[in-house]
Structure 1
Amino acid sequence: MKALKALLPLLLAGAVAAGGAQAATKDVTVAVASTFTTLDPYNASDTLSQAVAKSFYEGLFSFDKNMKVVNVLAESYEASADGLTYTVKLRKGVKFQNGEDFTSAAVKVNYERVMDKKNGLKRFVLYSNIARIDTPDDFTVVFTLKKPFSAFINQLAHPSGGMICPKELEKWGAKIAFHPCGTGPFVMKDYNPSEVLKVEKNPNYWRAGYPKVDSITWKPVVENSTRVAMLLTGEADYAFPVPAEQVKQIESKDAVRLDITPSIITRYVEMNLTKKVFEDIRVRQALNYAVNKQALVKVAFSGYADPATGVAPMDVDYAVKLGPWPYDPKKARELLKEAGYPNGFKVELWSGYNHTTAAKIVQFLQQQLAQVGVKASVRTLEAGQRTAMVESVKPEESKHELYYIGWSSSTGEMDYAIRPLLATSSFTPNDSNESYYSNKMVDEKLMEALATTGREKKAELYADIQKQIWNDAPWIFLVNEKNIAGSAKNLTGFYIQPDASFNFTELEVK
């Protein structure tokens, strides 16, 4: 991108000399903090991979930049009075990138694929409440649920629900991750998961006049300072996340704009409850008392975060405020002594990210834990290691002990903030319960809330669940962070949503 911009005056001069017959190519480079785990949206457990997969894939519904549900491949829907049946009318005239028509049959194939537990797709739990899918005609889909769920359309709007061409699914099977074919605005040009994903304009996109750029180059750039340098030199047009400590540096640059927005991202450390030391609730509570969350906000986030006050950020529907856990190292040492660890213990602390902010966070945690006698050795994992070593293992085979990670509740409501992370049915590799926390009351009330349509009763159930989890402390509850992105000033229409996904429908170079 940098070289292209250096040549731009010459290219434009050539275009003028030729009578203005050729317009300048509009290419956009986006620098992101991590590599991509997969381009199969139904099998991605990280927000970034699902976000870049929006280049190719669209769902029936989506979220706008404020997390409000909007129609995409669906034109409308109706819910039955008992909350068990949702009838969705589809948009006509849409084609997949290989020329195949998009119809209700494609919707059925995609959702039945993720609903089949034998396929082992990571988003199985999200869609496990669907009992049956019927297609009375090419542009009508009827979803019948096992239990009523008022936020079902929010689930369908989750970025994992992209429509993959059935013909390509049949051809490639699990290798579809390297051969994306959807209805979206771009097609794949080049892909190396650790280095680059380049996508080019889909010339047959169903939305007239879109996309407004010719290509996007997604570049994983783990090092914070390198990512920022790319933005400042023009090698990247957009960078996310921008490290909080470099906000002031970027603010002083005329050609660059900062976008700082609220998020529903929570950061925490999972304690692996299959390990004997963490079976004792006193140990888990001790580690929560051991960490100064306010200091962490200052040290790692330069103030652009808040100590976690509950299991989910307060902007997630049905969230309740329960904390934060106070910083009390004396109480932590007392609890460790009561649990039989008067001198503390040794433990491994892994990070699910290998960018420099994550390294700073785990180093801070290492220092905090050491003050109460817990000696942690730290290790940061790149995306492939994270998938292989944590997300894809059975509980009895798990090696991690403490695991720093985060979650964005990409449906905007409480079921998705808790069930994939803390339900017994969500133990890896089924979903993302990497602490292997299991509580019968939590499991039962999660399912009861799923079947409850009354808001008052649902709020009561979710409050009970959150209080129980907070007290059981399967995680060290850390912070809810803000989204900080940097953009070239001539770039518009690229938004970071509250769940840290990307909305680039209106992306344009002015």
Structure 2
Amino acid sequence: MIRKSLVLPALLGVLVPVVTSCGVVGDSGGDDDAIVVGTTDRLELTKENPAPLDPATAYDINSWNILQNTFQTLMRMPRTGSEPEPDAAERCVFADRLSEQYRCTLRDGLTFTNGHDLTAADVKFSIERMLKIKNPNGPFPLLANVDTVETPDALTVVFHLKTPDATFPLKLATPAAAIVDSQVYEKDKLYEGFEIAGSGPYSLKVEHDDDVATKAVYTGNGDYKGEVEPQNDAVEVRYFGTSTSMEDAIAAGDIDVMGRSLKPEQINRLDEGTDGDVSLFETPGAEIAYLVFDVENPTVKDRAVRQAAAEVIDRTKLARDVYQRTVDPLYAMIPRGIIGHNTAFHDAYGDRPDTGGARELLREAGVEMPVKLTLNYTTDHYGETTKAEFEELRDQLNRSGLFDADIKGDTWETYKKNYAENRYAVYGLHWYPDFPDPDTFTGPFVGEENFTFNNYDSSVIGDLIPRTRQEAQRERTTDSFERIQDVLASDVPYLPLWQGKQYIAARDTVTGAEWALNSSSTLQLWELRHGLSE
């Protein structure tokens, strides 16, 4: 079957799902059996991260998949649209015109799955705990603008911000603001292991072999009070070593749904509809892949080296030959479908390799050629195609004759530690948006405490971002974010490579898969239900 082409909406919060093989329809019947979901994501306890499910340290797509389904936040992103809606809160509003004071009223009668009451004191505790622990790999920067939190009564929370921030409601909808039980979690210590204490749509039990999870069992939380309306009573998530073994499992009927990560050839095979019992769903995505340059590393400190790399990288070839057109070339850090997207890198360096232009940049800067580089990548976090991607990037650089590049892969836990300690000059990362707004593709990437640890700062960007946060009408920030993209294209602390699409496959006995991935690529298990095929 031919894949249908999609038009990205103005804001990526509005997702338009497309079924690319035989369709399914819902059914009011079904049964109480757990829906079984497969993933190649890895969940484990390590020396570096003994608390992968603690909101204070969880800041990757796999952990957020779990937290979104098991914890509540004051706000939550809706099925469609880019405006957050109340979840644990009954109502939230800015109490001033400057967007510096945000007031929330909680729903009455909230409880954690252990039976403890959830009150405003737990919300205050959760935010202050995140900022106190300040885990270097955690999402605390999303809340760093919080100055103080007040709780006038058991159902009211008032946030006082250091500076105006119209995006604050969006940040409260992320797992960074997950509400934890103050009677269980310690204020200055991580909650180690696979246990959690949340109040979301599901409770969780993780089965594991030593320190590696083999299955996560989600059971409907009958005491949940919020906007989500779960379509099932239970979901099992099974962890697979490879996408091939996961595909074999869905073909055999051992699992009902498979998500991250599908290889390009699997996507295309499913797209052809050769398995009539499995449907492939495609939605617009805002995942971006990019190279990071540590701008203080002697190898790439000279901007000319980074600009020369931008001149010779062929994104079109990468998307076409390695990813088989399941991703699109990207020429800015803000992806298509998000306010402020432009084609800054295309405008500055073109869409075809320019070896002559790159050589001239290096010659004028007095850089000795070929420039010796190691491109670092993670072997077990972004899918099995990552190695082939970095082999292609290495070959593109080397074919220019201007670089002597090699590649090196490390496991995700080692990788995170190494780039945080500035052990890499060049390394690859993916970014899944925290929320559907250009702020999430810019703010976290600039400044002394930026999450990539690449030492990049810019006075121009540092001045523009606070201004954009004062603007509640986000479309009015377009010019500022386009200017930010132009600065990034000139400085090249990052080199955008491609923008991903979202894919999920489901057997035709399951409905709701087309809504199961939200605008941040996290999995909404509550959308899945047993149903009937057409």
TM-score, normalization by structure 2:
0.83
Residue from 228, 239, 243 that aligns with 1:224: 243
Per the alignment, residue 110 of structure 2 pairs with 94
Residue from 264, 268, 275 that aligns with 1:244: 264
Task: Using the TM superposition, give the Cα deviation of residue 89 of structure 1 relative to its aligned residue in structure 2, in angstroms.
Answer: 1.4
Distance across 2 between alignment mates of 1:203 and 1:311: 39
Task: Using the TM superposition, give the Cα deviation of residue 124 of structure 1 relative to its aligned residue in structure 2, in angstroms.
Answer: 1.6
Residue from 325, 330, 349 that aligns with 2:375: 349
CA deviations 1:223-271 (Å, max 9, x no partner) are 3323322222223322223222222322221111101111111110111
Task: Using the TM superposition, give the Cα deviation of residue 189 of structure 1 relative to its aligned residue in structure 2, in angstroms.
Answer: 2.1
- 1:303 maps to a residue whose letter is R
- CA 1:352/1:146 → structure 2, altered by over 3 Å: closer, same or farther? same
- CA 1:191/1:39 → structure 2, altered by over 3 Å: closer, same or farther? farther
CA deviations 1:27-79 (Å, max 9, x no partner) are 42322344467112332221221112223212111113435323211111221
- 2:526 maps to a residue whose letter is T
Residue from 253, 266, 277 that aligns with 2:299: 277
Q: Quick check: 1:351–1:380 contact (8 Å CA) kept in 2?
A: yes
Residue from 487, 506, 512 that aligns with 1:468: 487
Q: Quick check: 1:51–1:159 contact (8 Å CA) kept in 2?
A: no
Matched, 1:168 2:184: yes
Matched, 1:420 2:444: yes
Residue from 16, 25, 29 that aligns with 2:33: 25
Residue from 413, 417, 430 that aligns with 1:406: 430
Which secondary structure state, in structure 2, belongs to the residue aligned with residue 225 of structure 1? helix
Matched, 1:201 2:201: no
Distance across 2 between alignment mates of 1:488 and 1:189: 25
Distance across 1 between alignment mates of 2:338 and 2:475: 16
Task: Using the TM superposition, give the Cα deviation of residue 108 of structure 1 relative to its aligned residue in structure 2, in angstroms.
Answer: 0.5
| Count of aligned positions | 478
Task: Using the TM superposition, give the Cα deviation of residue 24 of structure 1 relative to its aligned residue in structure 2, in angstroms.
Answer: 5.7
Matched, 1:313 2:339: no
Task: Using the TM superposition, give the Cα deviation of residue 144 of structure 1 relative to its aligned residue in structure 2, in angstroms.
Answer: 1.4
Distance across 2 between alignment mates of 1:487 and 1:139: 41
- CA 1:454/1:496 → structure 2, altered by over 3 Å: closer, same or farther? closer
Highest RCO, 1 vs 2 (Cα 8 Å, sep ≥ 6): 2
Residue from 342, 359, 362 that aligns with 1:333: 359
Q: Quick check: 1:350–1:380 contact (8 Å CA) kept in 2?
A: yes
- 2:372 maps to a residue whose letter is K
Task: Using the TM superposition, give the Cα deviation of residue 81 of structure 1 relative to its aligned residue in structure 2, in angstroms.
Answer: 2.3
Per the alignment, residue 13 of structure 1 pairs with none
- CA 1:370/1:451 → structure 2, altered by over 3 Å: closer, same or farther? same
- 1:384 maps to a residue whose letter is E
- 2:452 maps to a residue whose letter is N
- CA 1:194/1:259 → structure 2, altered by over 3 Å: closer, same or farther? farther
- 1:242 maps to a residue whose letter is L
Distance across 1 between alignment mates of 2:287 and 2:176: 17
Which secondary structure state, in structure 2, belongs to the residue aligned with residue 296 of structure 1? helix
Which secondary structure state, in structure 1, belongs to the residue aligned with residue 175 of structure 2? coil
Task: Using the TM superposition, give the Cα deviation of residue 423 of structure 1 relative to its aligned residue in structure 2, in angstroms.
Answer: 2.4
Residue from 86, 93, 107 that aligns with 1:78: 93
Q: Quick check: 1:135–1:142 contact (8 Å CA) kept in 2?
A: yes
- 1:367 maps to a residue whose letter is D
Distance across 2 between alignment mates of 1:205 and 1:30: 27
CA deviations 1:293-342 (Å, max 9, x no partner) are 00111122211222113121022233333243422233223333444445
Which secondary structure state, in structure 1, belongs to the residue aligned with residue 284 of structure 2? strand
- CA 1:322/1:267 → structure 2, altered by over 3 Å: closer, same or farther? same
Distance across 1 between alignment mates of 2:101 and 2:111: 27
TM-score, normalization by structure 1:
0.86
Distance across 1 between alignment mates of 2:495 and 2:464: 23
Per the alignment, residue 372 of structure 1 pairs with 400
Task: Using the TM superposition, give the Cα deviation of residue 214 of structure 1 relative to its aligned residue in structure 2, in angstroms.
Answer: 4.6
- Give the share of equivalent positions with the same residue, in percent: 22
Q: Quick check: 2:203–2:220 contact (8 Å CA) kept in 1?
A: yes
Which secondary structure state, in structure 2, belongs to the residue aligned with residue 166 of structure 1? coil
- CA 1:24/1:179 → structure 2, altered by over 3 Å: closer, same or farther? closer
Distance across 1 between alignment mates of 2:414 and 2:86: 36
- CA 1:217/1:260 → structure 2, altered by over 3 Å: closer, same or farther? same
- 2:93 maps to a residue whose letter is E
Distance across 2 between alignment mates of 1:409 and 1:29: 23
Per the alignment, residue 50 of structure 1 pairs with 64
Moved more, 216-225 or 88-97: 216-225
Moved more, 165-174 or 43-52: 165-174
Gaps in structure 2 of 5+ consecutive residues:
1-30
Per the alignment, residue 388 of structure 2 pairs with 360
Residue from 292, 304, 307 that aligns with 2:326: 304
- 2:439 maps to a residue whose letter is D
Q: Quick check: 1:67–1:497 contact (8 Å CA) kept in 2?
A: no
Per the alignment, residue 17 of structure 1 pairs with none
Distance across 1 between alignment mates of 2:463 and 2:268: 48
Task: Using the TM superposition, give the Cα deviation of residue 470 of structure 1 relative to its aligned residue in structure 2, in angstroms.
Answer: 1.4
- 2:529 maps to a residue whose letter is E
Task: Using the TM superposition, give the Cα deviation of residue 172 of structure 1 relative to its aligned residue in structure 2, in angstroms.
Answer: 9.6
Per the alignment, residue 417 of structure 2 pairs with 388
Which secondary structure state, in structure 2, belongs to the residue aligned with residue 270 of structure 1? strand
CA deviations 1:365-411 (Å, max 9, x no partner) are 111111123233222333322332224x3xxxx21121111112221
Matched, 1:500 2:515: no
Q: Quick check: 2:70–2:202 contact (8 Å CA) kept in 1?
A: yes
- CA 1:370/1:408 → structure 2, altered by over 3 Å: closer, same or farther? same
- CA 1:243/1:506 → structure 2, altered by over 3 Å: closer, same or farther? same
- 2:465 maps to a residue whose letter is L
Distance across 1 between alignment mates of 2:104 and 2:87: 12
Per the alignment, residue 16 of structure 1 pairs with none
Residue from 89, 114, 117 that aligns with 2:130: 114
Per the alignment, residue 10 of structure 2 pairs with none
Per the alignment, residue 164 of structure 2 pairs with 148
- 1:61 maps to a residue whose letter is M
Task: Using the TM superposition, give the Cα deviation of residue 176 of structure 1 relative to its aligned residue in structure 2, in angstroms.
Answer: 4.5
Task: Using the TM superposition, give the Cα deviation of residue 207 of structure 1 relative to its aligned residue in structure 2, in angstroms.
Answer: 4.9
Task: Using the TM superposition, give the Cα deviation of residue 171 of structure 1 relative to its aligned residue in structure 2, in angstroms.
Answer: 9.0
Q: Quick check: 1:310–1:322 contact (8 Å CA) kept in 2?
A: yes
Distance across 2 between alignment mates of 1:269 and 1:425: 18
Q: Quick check: 2:100–2:161 contact (8 Å CA) kept in 1?
A: yes
Task: Using the TM superposition, give the Cα deviation of residue 105 of structure 1 relative to its aligned residue in structure 2, in angstroms.
Answer: 0.8
Distance across 2 between alignment mates of 1:414 and 1:26: 37
- 1:306 maps to a residue whose letter is D
Per the alignment, residue 9 of structure 2 pairs with none
- 1:143 maps to a residue whose letter is F
- CA 1:457/1:246 → structure 2, altered by over 3 Å: closer, same or farther? closer
Which secondary structure state, in structure 1, belongs to the residue aligned with residue 129 of structure 2? helix
Question: Between Structure 1 and Structure 2, which shows a larger proportion of helix residues?
Answer: 1
